[in-house]
Structure 1
Amino acid sequence: MLLKKEPLYLHIANLIEEQILAGTLQLGDKLPSIRTVEKMHNVSINTVKQAFLLLESKSLIESRPRSGYFVSKTSMRRFALPTIGDLAAAKNIRPAEDLIDKVFNTLKQDVTQFSLGVPGDNMLPIAKLNKSLIKVISRLPDGGTAYEPVQGSPNLRRSVAKWSMHAGAHVTEEDLVTTSGAMNALSNCLMAVTKPGDTIAVETPTYFGTLQLAKSLGLQVIEIPSHPITGLELDALKKVLHKIDICCFTANFSNPLGSLMPEEHKIELVRLLTDYNIPLIEDDLYGNLFFGPSRPAPCKAYDEAGIVMWCGSVSKTLAPGYRVGWVAPGKFKDRVIRQKLLHTISTPILYQEVIADFMENGRYEHYLRNFRNRLYANCMQYQRSVEAYFPENTKIAQPQGGFVLWLELDAKIDTAALYDRALQQKISFAPGRIFTLQDRYHNCMRLNYALDWNDQLENDIKRLGNIVKSVL
């Protein structure tokens, strides 16, 4: 029997990986350019790019704008990846509302805010947004006091549609509906296509807001295991697909794992759900905060039947408090508009126009590029500090983008109890228990790294690590 020949891109990737693991290529070393590798192996540029993308997906190499590819810092990481959660239906629901309230109550307190997924003020373009605000107020004939069309600001929808081309989603302004942030988009979508008693599939661990929203609508929840690097486990989803009425997933940089679904997984997911006629709410809140060479496509890019409701917002990139979001609801557009009309009538026009103006005139791509570079540098600093100051058996995620970091501690640790001790020292984090409806993740925590890195921040991570050690 003939053996199947190894694909050329895989052969090239394996050669480079062997050199990295053997120490021939070391931390920070620059790789030969794509053109050089193309000539060395007499292959196409696309073959070399595919090999480099595979190495990037393993975090063995990293791309630096206008500089090339380098051996990644995370290729030398010491700590293991977190454990993959189990497939579980929400029969044994364990409420976490009190713990969530406790975390949110620190919002305006004088603490190091590792807990909430909100960028620090000094990471945001506040001065430029203020300029846009003044300009918009002066040109709006009613100063922003009147109702807008239910579908939302045409200027904002047009700007978002233009930016969707970067993601490969190809939506028009008529495909979009504006919302009061991403959570309002998720809420409108769920109310538009579900009824009490329906079953929703989510990743595990997943954003606690999605879980609380599903519970409030009377939905049954099935938590699907998610890999720290590649995200949603499709094989686990297939086992329960016949029980599911709707899915809500984050394909690009999930919260809290920071995982990224490979393109072929997204294509298969959309195909599966299309075959079963199951709607997919896609939370793409972190999609623009990628660490790779280009923005990953959302599932929406592969949606031909209109089953994907693609949700986005500027809450993680520009202005959390503006509460400006949107959704491309596909074939459910009319239902979503009716839900919006019923619950909010319209969304405030002023901040939508400010965001539209900034996206058009505020050098948005230039700002995002700098923001991503700062986030990536912070992610590396956090990982190094955790490895330096936390116990040796700590497990740490490897985010591909976004700005949250998931840690799994010794099984004896209860991070809900640990939270109270940390807060006494003016340090706040998000306990792992809030990211599930099951009785698990007690020994996990999520850290926000969208904060300005300095000696004080490193010292706070060190103090947090010492608190963990003291419990052990």
Structure 2
Amino acid sequence: MKAKTLLYDKIAADIERQIAGQVLRVGDKLPSLRTICEQYNVSQTTALQAYYQLEAKSLIESRPRSGYFVHRPAKRVLPLPAVSSPDGASGGELHEVISRVYRDMGHSGAVPLSLGVPALELLPVAKLNKGLLRATRTLSGSGLEYEQVQGSDHLRSQVARFYSGEGVSLSGDELVVTSGCMEALSLSLMVTTRRGDTIAVESPVYFGILQLAKSLGLKVIELPAHPQTGVEVDALKKVLAAGKVAACLLISNFNNPLGSLMPEAHKKEVVRLIQHFGVPLIEDDIYGEVYFGTERPRSCRSYDESGLVLWCSSVSKTLAPGYRIGWVAPGKFKDEVMRLKLYQSIAGTTITQEVIADLLETGRYAHHLRGLRQTLQTNALRYSHAIAQYFPKGTCISRPQGGFMLWVGLADHVDSVKLYERAIKQNISIAPGSMFSLQGQYHNCMRLSYGMPWNENIEGALKKLGNLII
């Protein structure tokens, strides 16, 4: 595998040098895939990977039925959103707008720009289906027996092995399998807080976290966040020093909805702070596998030696949303998490745990991730360029280094809930910014997902959405 990677890197580098030296100019057609295969004596898959790399850098573009061309840079570069400035705790409600958006996600024919998962076309459906058949043949009782409370030994050992190569040192015994990442977060909050306690989160933050906190009777302090580096560490230090919070809940890698990536130095400092003040950190790392760089960013958990970091993740955003397979490494809270899971759900689904374990063990999951990351990186650039082209003056946009989300800010007078109402009538679904805060903020913002394959329909929807902004 290493040889193939070096080969398509070489092809991409050769073409990039030709573009830089203006041997290939903007608008020029690139050699066909067949020509590349013959010139470099490689397979079509390798040739495609080289072109995918160049697409991801926005150096070339694919034109349906025409081939690949040197890309014309966007004439307009949009600024980043400002650092958020929440003003503390709030008891606001989100239910109405979230319910409306979820209800309309099933709107027939709607372009689901609001949906924060990859499209079905980007998932290895055939491999998952084969895995299900294999699991029913190999599992005791065809997978009908109860799984143990902690989760499948096979799955936990494979998750630990997979992440040991990603900078997260784990053993299978440190993990508890959950029903998706949300159950992992829920169990973690329940063992670290009591009703009436306050937790700290970055702002804006995934609305599911806000809903979960409210359902558990928790108060929420929203902390300012930078669109590229995430939570402002000084703000976190202040609330910890003031003794205001019982736990922190942060999305360290590719925050939903900002797409921000906490730098390694910030992660180390956050872990140092929570250890100093004795406050648990619940780390939502569900997007960590969808990185656009050369290697996976480390987690806060990888710097923790105190057991105060409860590390949560899942395959719901990368492989099989409907399987509801997640996990938590609860650190010093493991016994409490196990006891609570026993009371609430007893065990997870045996068959789906075995399917995921098998995909991890055979390397199929890692192979799938390589293709998914490449597609999403290209999508992020294409969606961003379309927004720069079609959205009005006053627009700003995040520049994610991974994940699925673009955070788009509009002129102050724009109401994204009203924009949502206009858009859904045109069969376009967006996620209004007010869903991501309990403080009535971000009225002029929205989250757009680039988890769908780029095509003329997507570009048309973004153009139409731009025209609806008034």
- Which category of TM-score, normalised to the shorter sequence, fits these structures? 0.7 to 0.9
- After TM superposition, give the deviation of residue 362 of structure 1 in Å: 5.1
The reply on whether 1:173 has 2:172 as its aligned counterpart is: yes
Which residue of structure 2 aligns with residue 421 of structure 1? 422
Contact 2:114–2:449, Cα closer than 8 Å, also in 1: yes
- After TM superposition, give the deviation of residue 467 of structure 1 in Å: 0.5
Contact 1:192–1:336, Cα closer than 8 Å, also in 2: yes
Q: Distance in 2 between matches of 1:147 and 1:415?
A: 46
Contact 1:128–1:362, Cα closer than 8 Å, also in 2: no
Q: Distance in 2 between matches of 1:218 and 1:65?
A: 51
Q: Distance in 1 between matches of 2:334 and 2:92?
A: 34
The reply on whether 1:319 has 2:320 as its aligned counterpart is: yes
Contact 2:76–2:389, Cα closer than 8 Å, also in 1: no
Contact 2:398–2:406, Cα closer than 8 Å, also in 1: yes
Q: Distance in 2 between matches of 1:77 and 1:297?
A: 33
Q: Distance in 1 between matches of 2:107 and 2:282?
A: 34
After superposition, give the CA deviation of every residue in 1:321-347 in whole Å (9 maximum; x if it has no partner). Answer: 110000000010001111111110111
Which residue of structure 2 aligns with residue 161 of structure 1? 160
Q: Distance in 2 between matches of 1:325 and 1:348?
A: 11
Q: Distance in 2 between matches of 1:163 and 1:101?
A: 37
> SS of the residue aligned with 2:369?
helix
Contact 1:279–1:309, Cα closer than 8 Å, also in 2: yes
- After TM superposition, give the deviation of residue 167 of structure 1 in Å: 2.4
- After TM superposition, give the deviation of residue 107 of structure 1 in Å: 3.2
Q: How does 1:189-204 map to 2 (within 5 A)?
A: 189-204=188-203
Contact 1:87–1:236, Cα closer than 8 Å, also in 2: no
Q: How does 1:451-470 map to 2 (within 5 A)?
A: 451-468=452-469
Stretches of structure 2 lacking an aligned partner (at least 5 in a row): 1-15, 22-49, 60-72
- After TM superposition, give the deviation of residue 198 of structure 1 in Å: 0.9
Task: Describe the shift of the 1:130–1:394 C-alpha distance in structure 2 as closer, same or farther (beyond 3 A).
Answer: same
Q: Distance in 2 between matches of 1:186 and 1:291?
A: 25
Q: Distance in 1 between matches of 2:305 and 2:74?
A: 38
Stretches of structure 1 lacking an aligned partner (at least 5 in a row): 1-24, 31-63
- After TM superposition, give the deviation of residue 90 of structure 1 in Å: 2.2
Q: Distance in 2 between matches of 1:80 and 1:362?
A: 39
Aligned residue type for 1:333: K
After superposition, give the CA deviation of every residue in 1:205-246 in whole Å (9 maximum; x if it has no partner). Answer: 000000011111111110011101111100111121121110
Q: Distance in 1 between matches of 2:106 and 2:350?
A: 27
- After TM superposition, give the deviation of residue 67 of structure 1 in Å: 7.8
Contact 1:29–1:71, Cα closer than 8 Å, also in 2: no
Q: Distance in 2 between matches of 1:195 and 1:87?
A: 24
After superposition, give the CA deviation of every residue in 1:369-389 in whole Å (9 maximum; x if it has no partner). Answer: 111000000000000000000
Q: Distance in 2 between matches of 1:27 and 1:394?
A: 34
> SS of the residue aligned with 1:105?
helix
Q: Distance in 2 between matches of 1:272 and 1:29?
A: 46
Number of residue equivalences: 412
Which residue of structure 2 aligns with residue 81 of structure 1? 80
> SS of the residue aligned with 2:413?
coil
Which residue of structure 1 aligns with residue 337 of structure 2? 336
Which residue of structure 2 aligns with residue 447 of structure 1? 448
Q: How does 1:372-411 map to 2 (within 5 A)?
A: 372-411=373-412
> SS of the residue aligned with 1:90?
strand
Q: Distance in 2 between matches of 1:119 and 1:424?
A: 24
Aligned residue type for 2:275: T
- After TM superposition, give the deviation of residue 28 of structure 1 in Å: 6.7
Deviates most, 159-168 or 301-310 = 159-168
After superposition, give the CA deviation of every residue in 1:264-321 in whole Å (9 maximum; x if it has no partner). Answer: 1100000000011100000000000000110000000000001000001000100001
> SS of the residue aligned with 1:310?
strand
Which residue of structure 1 aligns with residue 26 of structure 2? none
Which residue of structure 2 aligns with residue 210 of structure 1? 209
Q: Distance in 1 between matches of 2:389 and 2:75?
A: 13
